[in-house]
């Protein structure tokens, strides 16, 4: 991974609001993977791991919690206290402690053996599965206080019940709950799910579709298929803000030029 240093602060983060990115909890310098991006509009009120990879699709709202190492689609709703992307620990090594694969933790290497810091760091055994990337599809709703294990995939349209512990992949449009989370039912019948996945309505802005009866799924799909098929609505294609774009916007020196570049 290649990381980009971004000077977040309360004052500089205000520059992101006109670009459709609300990130009030990002108040300190962060290192984001260069492939990180934010597709406006988004609202991120969670604590973000540092450093990390973070990709967030348009119309997604993250109301709190802690996230890292995650790719999130469009129209997702994530409640407060949700934890996504916690680090894993090795279970078949001599120890589960992070010291074995991350000796710089808390600066303990310098505290315990300042004379061997270089040797320790040169001989570290990397734990490749420490945090595999977690993936959320589109239109995913995660209830308050849920825990999503690193590396799982939450399929488009699925719902995760509050306080659930998700340790394996969730299929599209499934409703899961419990510890560990289990499938309780599906949101729609099989044919309706097939139509939803084929239509990919999340490619469009719902603000262009308020003539559609959202509360009646069959009629919604019928009308959306007509609107899309006839070309009456166009795909929503905003310019994503990548990590380097954020760096340009938030840099105290380059902020003005960066804002013009990203907004052009």
What does the pLDDT look like over 122-143, one tens digit per residue? 999 988 888 899 999 999 999 9
* pLDDT grade for 253, boundaries at 50, 70 and 90: low
Q: Which domain holds residue 139?
A: 3-88+131-187+240-263
CATH of the domain at 156: 2.160.10.10
CB 76 within 8 A of CB 136: yes
Q: CB under 8 Å to 250, separation ≥6 — which residues? A: 6, 7, 8, 9, 12, 13, 15, 16, 258
> In this model, does residue 53 exceed pLDDT 80?
yes
pLDDT at 252: 67
CB 161 within 8 A of CB 178: yes
Distance of CA 116 to the CA centre of its chain: 38
Percent of the chain with pLDDT over 70: 95
Number of domains composing the chain: 2
Residue 117 lies in a domain: no
Question: What is the pTM (predicted TM-score) of this model?
Answer: 0.90
Across the range 209-227, mean pLDDT stands at 98
What's the length of the chain? 264
Q: Do 173 and 250 reside in the same domain of the chain?
A: yes
Residue 15 lies in a domain: yes
Residue 119 lies in a domain: no
Residue 102 lies in a domain: no
How far apart CA 99 and CA 4 sit, in angstroms, is 26
* pLDDT grade for 19, boundaries at 50, 70 and 90: very high
How far apart CA 168 and CA 150 sit, in angstroms, is 9
Q: Do 199 and 82 reside in the same domain of the chain?
A: no
> In this model, does residue 96 exceed pLDDT 50?
yes
Task: Look at the block and give the residue holding tokens 């459709």.
Answer: 20
What does the DSSP assignment read for the chain? --EEEEE--HHHHGGGGGGTEE-TT--SEEEEETT-EE-SSEEE-SEEPSSB-EEE-TTEEE-SSEE-SEEE-TT-EE-TT-EE-PPP--SSSS--SGGGT-TTGGGHHHHH-GGGHHHHHHT----TTSSPPEEE-SS-EE-TT-EE-TT-EE-TT-EE-TT-EE-S-B-TTEEEEETTEEEEEESS-HHHHHHHHHHTGGGS-GGG-TTS-TT-HHHHHHHHHHHHHTTSS----PPPEEHHHHHHHH-TTTHHHHHHHHH-
Question: Angle at the Cα of 154 (from 140 to 16), degrees rounded to 5?
Answer: 55
pLDDT at 91: 92
Residue 198 lies in a domain: yes
Q: Do 157 and 216 reside in the same domain of the chain?
A: no
Digit-coded pLDDT (tens) for 56-78:
999 999 999 999 999 999 999 99
* pLDDT grade for 258, boundaries at 50, 70 and 90: very low
């Amino acid at each position: 991974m290649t990381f980009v240093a971004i000077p977040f602060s309360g004052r500089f983060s205000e520059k992101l609001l006109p670009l459709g990115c609300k990130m009030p909890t990002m108040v300190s310098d962060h290192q984001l993977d260069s492939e990180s991006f934010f597709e406006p509009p988004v609202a991120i009120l969670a604590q973000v791991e540092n450093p990390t990879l973070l990709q967030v699709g348009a119309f997604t709202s993250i109301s709190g919690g802690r996230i890292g190492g995650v790719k999130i689609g469009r129209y997702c709703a994530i409640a407060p206290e949700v934890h996504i992307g916690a680090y894993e620990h090795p279970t078949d090594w001599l120890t589960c402690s992070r010291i074995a694969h991350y000796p710089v933790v808390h600066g303990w290497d310098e505290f315990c053996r300042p004379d061997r810091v270089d040797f320790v760091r040169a001989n570290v055994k990397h734990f490749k599965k420490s945090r595999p990337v977690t993936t959320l599809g589109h239109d995913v709703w995660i209830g308050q206080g849920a825990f999503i294990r690193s590396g799982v995939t939450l399929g488009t349209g699925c719902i995760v019940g509050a306080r659930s512990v998700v340790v394996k992949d969730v299929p599209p449009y499934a409703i899961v709950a419990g510890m560990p989370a289990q499938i309780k039912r599906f949101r729609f019948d099989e044919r309706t799910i097939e139509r939803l996945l084929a239509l990919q309505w999340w490619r469009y802005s719902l603000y262009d579709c308020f003539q559609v009866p959202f509360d009646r799924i069959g009629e919604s799909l019928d009308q959306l298929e007509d609107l899309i098929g006839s070309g009456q609505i166009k795909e929503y294609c905003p310019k994503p803000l990548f990590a380097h774009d954020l760096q340009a916007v938030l840099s105290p020196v380059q902020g003005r030029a960066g804002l013009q570049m990203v907004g052009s």
